[in-house]
Amino acid sequence: MSNGSLPTIVSVLALVIGIIAVILGIVSLSQKGTNNYIIGGEDGDSSTGAQSSSDGMNDDDKIWVLAIGHLASSTEYIDEISGQIMGFDVDIANAVCRIAGKNCRWSVDVFTRCWDSELGEAQRGGVGLYSGFYDACTGWINKYERSRTFRFSDAFSTPDEAAFFVKPGNPLAFDYRDISNKKIGFIDGFAFDEFCVARQDIQGVPILPENSMHYATRDDLLAGIENEEVDAGFDNVLVWSKVDKVDVIPDFRAQCGIAGRSMMMRQDNTLWQWWNPAFAKLRNSTEYHRICGDLLFKHGHIPGPNPEDVCFDYE
């Protein structure tokens, strides 16, 4: 072999070694990302949408996005002066996130993008939760129809009850014991719907489609009652018992949910894994009772439930 061939051989060997090093480096980076990002555990959980992390980011680095949209009572509302999202649900979630050491952020959206239930159509998950715009929707009642689609955290309140309510004085002579041919008003997407009424032991159920009236908001439903478009409305008794423009029908209460107010998320979202143990710690602390007391002292200027109506073991 001539001396002139030696540099050529050395150069070729160096190039081959360099290529091998690059390949090994790529493999190493790929393995690092996979080890920090597990898809599909024993419960079939995976991380997609708002949960996705293609660069191997673990949960400690993740921003957890919580959606709020009901904005209808002291449990969830926007303060007109500060513009801040406030309420019992917000206080609970902020405390749970802090205890769990998670970085949580709030998102305000139309509540039907969490869950929708329109007249004549099947109940369904909302596009916001399905598409992963946020990790969970806050303060949703765990009910049969929803639990077939989404996963729920442990409830952070006792179950709410529903009732019929009518125009003051009940001028249309509504009788809950027989609602045959009576028009009943509901709110799109709410837990207190015609499917809940259908499970009650009363005459006239299930309600005929033409007798089931859906409204977009509580104000719209109230207007429907005042204008006698419906014989009665059906919704959360804790809210309507404090509305002086209606009479709540006595002697009837309905349980529409499996559990109380919870975090509702896609089946593949892992928020529940840290939420449940963190809430268990909160519930056993004095902070939980302080948050319950704030329903009156901090949020009492907004209509809504009393602490004993929603809080576990509150005295």
The pLDDT tens digits of the residues spanning 215-250 come to 988 899 999 999 999 999 999 888 888 788 999 999
- Same domain? 151 vs 274: yes
- Same domain? 103 vs 189: no
Q: Does residue 4 belong to any structural domain of this protein? A: no
Q: 50 and 132 in contact (C-beta within 8 Å)?
A: yes
Q: Does residue 197 belong to any structural domain of this protein? A: yes
Say which residues have a Cβ less than 8 Å from residue 101's Cβ, sequence separation at least 6: 60
Q: 203 and 178 in contact (C-beta within 8 Å)?
A: yes
Q: Does residue 25 belong to any structural domain of this protein? A: no
Confidence of residue 22 (pLDDT cuts 50, 70, 90): very low
- Same domain? 264 vs 246: no
Q: Does residue 62 belong to any structural domain of this protein? A: yes
- Same domain? 53 vs 154: yes
| Domain enclosing residue 184, as ranges | 161-255
- The mean pLDDT of 182-205, rounded to a whole number, is 90
- Same domain? 191 vs 134: no
- The mean pLDDT of 33-49, rounded to a whole number, is 28
pLDDT value of residue 73: 84
Domain count for the chain, please give it. Answer: 2
Least confidently predicted of 77-86, 157-166, 234-243, 283-292: 234-243
Q: Does residue 54 belong to any structural domain of this protein? A: yes
pTM: 0.70
Q: Does residue 12 belong to any structural domain of this protein? A: no
- Same domain? 143 vs 170: no
- Same domain? 151 vs 283: yes
- Same domain? 138 vs 275: yes
- Same domain? 53 vs 150: yes
- Same domain? 221 vs 269: no
Q: Does residue 40 belong to any structural domain of this protein? A: no
- Same domain? 216 vs 67: no
Q: Does residue 111 belong to any structural domain of this protein? A: yes
- Same domain? 74 vs 176: no
The CA distance from 80 to 77, in Å, is 9
